Every structure is written in structure tokens, then in C-alpha cells.
Chain A
Amino acid sequence: MAIDIDTARKVAKLARIRVEEQDLPKLAGQLSGILGFMEELNEVDVTGVEPMVSVTPMRLKRRADVVTDGNIQAQVLKNAPDAREGFFAVPKVVE
């Protein structure tokens, strides 16, 4: 399935990656190429096959529902590009 420029723009928006208008045709072409390659999957008869969800059949382990760490605010914020008063700081979200 070919990706047109509008679809490329929409995908970039969904992925939250800014793509300049002049770069959209090239992106659309590359995405079309990659998706074209995936079309081969349509040759496979998958009737009655369950989608694989787990690599190894295993039951996920459970642990006691208790707090195992905490009180590490400084460590959590250490790598933040902008941290103020013990919080992550971001541009205004609500008008």
C-alpha cells in the first residue's frame, strides 16, 4: 500500500516527530517501500493461527504488593533537562 503525503504527515504527527513539509515526499516514498516489503506477508495462510503473544510459554511471576524502593526524588530528577522545586518542569499544558 502506497503512503501518500497526507498519510506521512499524519504518521509523523502521531509519532510526535516534526517533519518539515519539504521532507514529506521522501519520507512517504521510503515508508511505501518498507510497507511494500511487508505485503509479502499476505501470501501466508494464517487461517486459525493465534497471534504470538509470548516468546516462551511461561506464567508471569507475581510478587507481594509491597513498596520496594522510594525516597529517591533527587535521583529520579537528576537527569531531567528542567527540574524545579522537586518536579519535572514542562511548558504550559492547559490554557
Chain B
Amino acid sequence: MSANTWTIAAARDALRKGEISAVDLTMSCLTAIDAGDALNAFVHKTPEIALEQARAADARLKAGDAPSMCGIPLGIKDLFCTRGVPSQAASNILRGFRPEYESTVTAKLFEAGAVMLGKLNMDEFAMGSSNETSCYGNAVNPWKVDDRLLTPGGSSGGSAAAVAADLCLGATGTDTGGSIRQPAAFTGIVGIKPTYGRVSRWGIVAFASSLDQAGPMTKSVRDAAIMLGAMAGHDPKDSTSADIPVPDFEAALTGDIRGKVIGIPKEYRMDGMPEEIEALWARGIEMMRDAGAEVRDISLPHTKYALPAYYVIAPAEASSNLARYDGVRYGHRAKLAAGDGITEMYEKTRAEGFGPEVQRRIMVGTYVLSAGFYDAYYNRARKVRALIKRDFETVFAEGVDAILTPATPSAAFGLGEMADADPVKMYLNDVFTVTVNLAGLPGISVPVGLDGQGLPLGLQLIGRPWQEAELLNYAHVLESRAGFVAKAEKWW
């Protein structure tokens, strides 16, 4: 098998044994990337940087100083600022922007020896669930069952497509309402959103600062554990980054979950949920029970209100965060007419630079924060958020160790199918994932099976705060028992 199809764990072991060089491994990915343009996953390719980093990794491997990520070729979501390399958040308003600094996450990955292959497609400013709001045009799901092209999900759609199509060994993603877990489920890969504060947000273009969290998207749970270990850790430059030790996540993958309590929330059994999702969930429950866990029915009574609360809080924070795009310090500035003043400059620049979904969310956020509506919308949503968090605290206090739910309400849908739908319909994609961001918890999506058409479906496990290690172990059990090995058949 060509080396670009390997897992991070397999590549690490082969690199350390000298069975392959980081340069050869990187070359196999670069070749796959060039052959994968139809997926539109990589939107800025950085082969020179990749080969330079690969040569440096080979030197480290030779010297015996090789952390787990040394020589591992990765794709980086366009939301991460990478020094000297376009970092556009898939928005026209950041066209031409080349940061003078490196995000903490990419800096940590590079310190660990990882190789950057390029920047990955995404929804504009991470606002979307299908990758269709991108200024680069949508990424395409490598999974295909008829003549339709399918969405890889969003917002980390390019990351998901690239990993699923073996263009890279792993990718960074970010997750504000499900943007790692939903695309992972749509493409049959693993994606974990860590506890809020586990991974530094510094240098990642901000969407909703109290919800955003970066995490790895990989081909296996073990790979997620390895890569998360390199991304996580305290950062003085992010005041919400937690100053607590990062455990050895990979060492936690014992496969032993006997006696652990897995909660099954009845509120996630939605009206109109496809039978296949229900059946997949039942199989997952059986797998956990079979592994010796105690399965317990639980209630998270405020689940229903998570989506509306999210769609107040996230746009509110976005309207504030995105105020910085004013055409003054970086990115696009509109051409001005004679007599235009600074207000016209702001208004024209932002109208030209932001796409329709981003504009809509900024305006919703502006409205819910405006005088007279702040209490009715924003404060009420924050109160409901407190109740959603309390729901989780209550079940954890009653002894539940992790919670098992579906990852998405459906398999991947066709590109363009939602074009005429109400924006709220697209928001429903986040129904199972958004509670986790509101409560700041870790959540992981694991591929468990295929639907009747042959498309991947995932289940989500939600853990206690800071217990990613335990969560990864539950996910590892689910992964081993599900035995999901299907890959997208190559058509591109």
C-alpha cells in the first residue's frame, strides 16, 4: 500500500525503524494531493515547506530525537495562521493575507516534527455544515454512491475529505458547533473536539471564542490520541488555555472499559430520525455493553434548546470577533468612489469581502446584542446555556462516565441539495454535537458503519471535562468492535 494511506501510528513506527524516510512519505502525499484536485480539499499547497520540514524530520529521526509526530505529513485547516502562508479562513475578506506569526497549534506540531502539506478548504470563517460557504468553492466528499457529488460536511470539510482520501495522514480541524465531528462522520474518519481550554486558540481565526476548540482529524482513534498529545497544552498567549498537565493519551488506549457507565440520553432520540441512525446507535450500545460497560438510560432535559441557544450565542460572539475585518489592517479593501468616507469604506469592504452566510450571522449577532434585545435574546441564551451545562454535570455526578449518541442526523447529503433550504434547516446538522460545545466538554466522532446506500455513519461519545484520555479509550473500544475498515472507492 502506498505510504500516504498509512495511519500516523504505522508511519511513526516505519519512520523510526528506517523503513521509509520522511521525504518519501511526504512525496507520496504530495503525489496524492496533485492527483486529488477534483476533491478541492487543498486550497493552498506548500510542497517546498513540506519537503524542507521532511528533510529536517529525517535528520531528527537519524539523530534518535523523534517525537511521535516527527515526519508525519499533515493538512492544516485554512483557519490556522501559518507564517508566510495564505491563511484566509476561506473568506475573500482575507484574500492575500499572509500572517507574520504562527498559531500555537501549528507551532507545536512543527516543533514535534510534523510536516505541513498545505492549507485545507473549509466553510467561510467556519460558518457552515457543508463546506459550501467557502470562497474557494466547496470541497467534495471522496465517498460517492451514485452520480451525485456529496458534501464532506463542514466546517472542516477539506480536512475530512483530505484524510478520508489519503491525501495526508491527519489534519487539524476546529469545532464550534460540530465542525470536526460532523465532517468526520460524513467521511468515515475519527475527529475529536477536546475540552474547552485543552488546546490553545491563539493564532486560530476566531469565530465564537467561548465555543471554538481545535482538534485532530485522523484515520484511527490511536492517531487522534497521538496527534492531540502534540496539539494540547497550556499557552500563556490564550488566557482560556488550561494550565494542567497533558496526559499520555495513547497510553490510555487499554481497551478495558469494564464497569464504566455509559449514558444513553433519551432526548437524542429525535422525531423523524432515520431508522438507520437508530439501528447504528443500538449497535453501538450493544458494543459497549459487550465490552463490559454498564449502559444506563439518562436524561439531558434541555437538549432541545441547545440549537436555538447556540444560534444566539455563536453569532453574537462572531459579530464582535469579525468587527476587526474593516479593510484597514489586513485583507481586502473595497475600491472607493470619490467622496466616500471611512463608513463607506467599512460598509463596502465588508459587503464585498463576506459571503452571504457570514453576513447573515454577523447581522443576527448584531441584532441580539443590540439595545433592547440583549436581555431577551443574548442573556436568555446564556442562561439556557448554563442549564445545558448543568444537565451534563448532573449525570456525571450520578456516576456516568461517558455518553453515547449519534454523531449526525443523517449521512452525507448531496452538494447543492440545501441551496434553497431555509438557513435553519442547515443548522439542524449540529443537533447532536452543539450541546458539547455549549458545555465545553470533549466529544469524539467514530465511524461505526455504512448506511443502506453505502455511506459512512458515525457515533459520538461525550466525556467528562479534561478526561480526553478516558474518552479516547471508550472510542477505541467502539472502533475495535465496530471494525470499520471501509474506504471511499477512488473516482477522482
Contacts and interface: CB of A to CB of B under 8 A. Distances in A.
A41 B312 contact: yes
Contacts of A93: 341-342
A16 B325 CA distance: 10
Contact of B363 (A17, A78, A80): A17
B196 interface: yes
A58 B333 CA distance: 39
Contacts of B347: 16-18
Contact of B328 (A16, A61, A80): A80
Interface stretch (B15-23, B269-277, B374-382, B400-408): B374-382
Interface in B84-100: 96-100
Contacts of A50: 383, 386
A3 B302 CA distance: 27
B367 A11 contact: yes
Contact of A58 (B197, B326, B331, B348): B197
Q: Which of B354, B362, B368, B427 gathers most chain A CB within 10 Å?
A: B362
A43 B302 CA distance: 11
A44 B370 CA distance: 22
Contact of B362 (A15, A35, A38, A82): A15
B308 A37 contact: yes
Contacts of B379: 51
B454 interface: no
B304 interface: yes
Interface in A7-32: 7-8, 11-12, 14-19, 27, 30-31
A60 B239 contact: yes
Nearest to B347: A18
Contacts of A76: 100
B380 A90 contact: no
Contacts of B97: 79
Contacts of A3: 367
Given A38-B312, A46-B387, A50-B383, A91 B341 contact: yes
Q: Which of A33, A34, A41, A91 gathers most chain B CB within 10 Å?
A: A34
Count class of interface residues, chain B: 35 or more
Interface string B309-351: 1011000000100010011111111001000111111111011
B350 A44 contact: no
A4 to B, nearest CB: 12
A82 B342 CA distance: 13
A80 B333 CA distance: 9
B423 interface: yes
Contact of A55 (B329, B341, B440): B440
Interface in A33-85: 33-35, 37-44, 46, 49-53, 55-56, 58, 60-61, 63, 72, 75-76, 78-82
A5 B395 CA distance: 46
A70 to B, nearest CB: 14
Nearest to A19: B351
Q: Which of B97, B331, B384 gathers most chain A CB within 10 Å?
A: B384
A91 B345 contact: yes
B384 A44 contact: yes
B351 A17 contact: yes
Given A55-B210, A61-B236, A16 B343 contact: yes
B467 interface: no
Nearest to A61: B239
A41 B196 contact: no
A33 B440 contact: no
B423 A33 contact: yes
B327 A81 contact: yes
B240 A34 contact: no
B354 A90 contact: no
Nearest to B358: A17
B359 interface: yes
Nearest to B98: A79
B413 interface: no
Nearest to B325: A16
A14 B384 CA distance: 27
B376 to A, nearest CB: 9
A17 B333 contact: no
Nearest to B310: A38
A85 B340 CA distance: 22
Contacts of A72: 100
Interface in B164-212: 195-197, 210
B364 A81 contact: no
Given A38-B308, A81-B328, A93-B342, 4 more contacts: A33-B422, A44-B380, A46-B387, A63-B236
18 contacts: A15-B319, A17-B362, A18-B347, A18-B351, A34-B364, A37-B308, A38-B308, A38-B368, A39-B308, A51-B385, A52-B383, A52-B385, A55-B440, A58-B240, A79-B330, A80-B330, A81-B327, A91-B341
Please name the 4 residue pairs, one residue from A and one from B, whose CB atoms are nearest each other, closest first. A51-B382, A55-B440, A79-B330, A81-B333
